[in-house]
Amino acid sequence: MRLLRSNCLSLLAFVLPVTATGQNAPTQAFQEWARQHVHAISSVEDDTHGDADLRPLKNMIGDAHVVAFGEPFHGGHEPLAMRNRLIRYGVTQLGFTAVALETGLSTSKRVYDHVLGKTTETDSALKEAFSYGFGSLPENLDLIQWLRTWNATQPPSRQVHFYGIDLTGQFAPYAYRSIEAVLNFVDHATPSLGRELRKQYAGVIPVFRKDKYAALTPSEKDAITGKIQEMISLLRRERITLIAATSRDEYEWALREALNAAQDDAYLRSLPAEFDPEQFDPSLQKIQPADPRELHQAEMREIGMADNLQWVQQRESSRGKVFFFAHDGHVETGIQYFVRPQQAAERMVGTYLRSVLGRDMVVVGTYFGHGADFPAKQMPLPPDAEGIDGMLSSLSIPIFMMDLRELPSGGILHQWMLAEHKTRNGYYGIYTVAPAEDYDAILFIETITPTPAIPK
């Protein structure tokens, strides 16, 4: 159904009346509806009024066990600060017991142990546990410190677990870290078996990384795939022995880390033979016209992330709710269209999760008005006055939330919110969303400034 939206949007352009401002967006209808349905947020930082401004969130979430929040681009301070505030509120008031972020699963085990007080890590060590340089963002370290402090005062049933749900390698040359994590587990559980496994995988670790893998022959790639599947089978076969030597929790993590290696293997196998890691740039404006291999590669990541979040949800279902945070593009529940020389459609994490979780998941996308104080090359693109960003800005409310499920069941606003509209991926480029189908609710932040980790 989403594949027909480009045609639907063309038809709607003829039937939507022009507002008093000359825009095709039904701004006036939106402003009238917003008077009763928009909830202003006092601040993305700590609130001094008992979090009264966040209370509507309880009704938005309802009985859902997974709440996905998006950020419009990576590196903005306000979305990260708001995320931290929402997590604190969700943990203390709404029964959240897990936080899942867009970062590598296998390396996140280090953070998982740290926030539970099982280990004590330095900030520099925690930085290394995050993917894509996210460990350098002070908002992430603030979150980890708060979770550790909270957990220190809580019984196990109320302690909050931390998870990464992304591939451990992907764009970075770290896929081998999943295999190393499993080997470390087996070393601890059964030293003799660990020594034998290290011999078997000694030749895999140096080349199981995106800057080495593409140069391997098909038979060498097949051998790596076979080795990873053997590791998964061994863990499953030796489940009873390994749990007895460690714990059920440690075993479940090790098995998931082995599956995480298989996810990276599937991703790396999808790279075209001519892939050149020295020339590859993942930013959207550098991607060439749609290539089926490119889309297959990208979707292998989305499938892996969705599978990992399902694992988190299953682990946490008897304890409480899961807070999932990633880029808006990952959490949206439809098919994402990148605006390139040719349109490219991609199914996202939210697309797969919606098919499994249905309404047991609530998805909140974040939009913004303007960027401020970013370096010139990283300044977010200005909003489209006739698009969703401009319409949200028209309320002149610095920060607010709204539940899209409360939209009118028909009429101009209903039609417009179900149609495809361009939005911004920070300074990377443009993609399209159908707000009322891709998200259940929207968080809007008028001005976003860079995280302190970005030099001005």
Residue 187 has pLDDT above 60, yes or no: yes
Residue 133 has pLDDT above 50, yes or no: yes
For the record, the structure tokens of 188 come out as: 């601890």
Domain end (from 281, 305, 325): 281
pLDDT at 366: 97
Q: Are residues 30 and 57 part of one domain?
A: yes
State pLDDT tens for residues 217-275.
999 999 999 999 999 999 999 999 999 999 999 999 999 999 999 999 999 998 776 66
pLDDT at 346: 78
**With contact defined as beta carbons under 8 Å apart, do 201 and 234 qualify?**
no
pLDDT at 359: 94
CATH number at residue 228: 1.20.1440.30
Q: Are residues 310 and 256 part of one domain?
A: no
Q: Are residues 96 and 111 part of one domain?
A: yes
Domain end (from 262, 281, 300): 281
Q: Are residues 188 and 150 part of one domain?
A: no
Residue 8 has pLDDT above 80, yes or no: no
Domain end (from 281, 311, 338): 281
Residue 280 has pLDDT above 60, yes or no: no
CA dihedral 313, 315, 320, 325 (to 10 degrees): -40
By residue range, what is the domain housing residue 208?
Answer: 172-281
Rg, the chain, Cα only: 23
Structural domain contains residue 334: yes
Mean pLDDT of the region 280-305: 62
Residue type, 358: G
**With contact defined as beta carbons under 8 Å apart, do 307 and 263 qualify?**
yes
Structural domain contains residue 99: yes
pLDDT at 25: 82
Q: DSSP letters of 320-363?
A: -EEEEEEEHHHH-SSEEEE-SSS-EEEE-HHHHHHHHHGGGEEE
Residue 106 has pLDDT above 90, yes or no: yes
Structural domain contains residue 440: yes
Which residue do the tokens 């932040």 mark?
445
Residue 151 has pLDDT above 70, yes or no: yes
Pairing assessment for the beta strands 335-338 and 344-347 based on DSSP bridges: antiparallel
Q: Which residues pair with 244 in a beta bridge?
A: none
Contacts of 298 (CB under 8 A, 6+ apart): 346
Give kind and range of the element (H or E) at residue 365.
strand 361-371
pLDDT at 10: 31
The total of structural domains in the chain comes to 2
pLDDT at 272: 72
Cα–Cα distance measured from residue 176 to residue 264, given in angstroms and rounded to the nearest whole number: 9
Residue 291 has pLDDT above 90, yes or no: no
Cα–Cα distance measured from residue 401 to residue 422, given in angstroms and rounded to the nearest whole number: 20
pLDDT at 3: 33
Q: Which residues pair with 447 in a beta bridge?
A: 370
pLDDT band of residue 13 (cuts 50, 70, 90) is very low
Q: Are residues 179 and 167 part of one domain?
A: no
pTM: 0.90
Residue 186 has pLDDT above 70, yes or no: yes
Q: Helix or strand or coil: residue 447?
A: strand
CATH number at residue 167: 3.40.1660.10
